[in-house]
Amino acid sequence: MPRRVLAEVARRWPAGLEGVSDFLVGRGRWVVGTGVVERWLDRWLDAVEGAEGLGEAKKLQEGKSRTGLAATATNDNKERREQFLQLIFEAFAHGSAGFVQETQLLTAADWGFRFEDVRFPPKVLMWHGTADANSPIGMIRYMAERIPHCVLREFEGVDHYSLLAGKDGAGRLEAILRELVCQ
C-alpha cells in the first residue's frame, strides 16, 4: 500500500513530494546526530561488520585498559558512522528532485523501452546482494536475464546497505572497481 501511495503522489504532486522529502531528510539529519541514535547506529554497524574491526577492539577493551583503546574505538565509531551517514545522505545532496524522479521511474508501468532492446557494448555489468529488500534479487535477475550481454554478480546474504559496508564491503568494492577498470 505505501508504495502505491508514494507512486501516486510522485505522479500527481511531484513538487509536494519533493518538499516533504526535503523536510524529512532535514529532520533525519538532525535525528541521527542525537546520542540515542548515534549509539544505536554504532551497534548496528558493529552487527553488520560481524564482530570484525571495531567489534574486535571492543572485545579487547573489556579485558584491557579502557583509556587509550576506548578513545580510539570512540573515534573509529564516529568516523565509521559519519562515513555511513554520508553514504546515505549523498542521494539528497542536491535536494529531493532525484528521489522524486526515481520514484516516478521505478513505479511506472512502462519505461518506454524493453530490456531486450538495451544495447551497450561489450556488456552490462550488475552487482547486487541477494538479501536486498529494497530491490529484490528476483527482480534484478529478471532484468539481467533480458538485457543482452548482461553479467550479474550476486553477493550472497548482502542487503541494500551492507554491499559496501565493513571490511567485506571494502573487498567487494575493490573487486567491482577492478572489474570495471579491466573493461
pLDDT in tens, 64-105: 444 444 445 556 888 989 988 998 899 899 999 999 999 998
What distance in Å separates the CA atoms of residue 100 and residue 17, rounded to the nearest whole number? Answer: 7
pTM of the complete model: 0.63
CA distances from 173 to 10, 25, 48, 169, 170 (A): 32, 27, 16, 6, 5
Using pLDDT thresholds of 50, 70 and 90, give the confidence band for residue 165.
Answer: confident
List beta partners, residue 126: 152
Q: What is the pLDDT confidence band of residue 42, given thresholds at 50, 70 and 90?
A: very high
| Confidence at residue 75, expressed as pLDDT on a 0 to 100 scale | 65
DSSP state of 53: T
What are the residue boundaries of the structural domains of the chain, listed by start?
2-99, 113-181
Give yes or no for residue 52 having a pLDDT over 50.
no
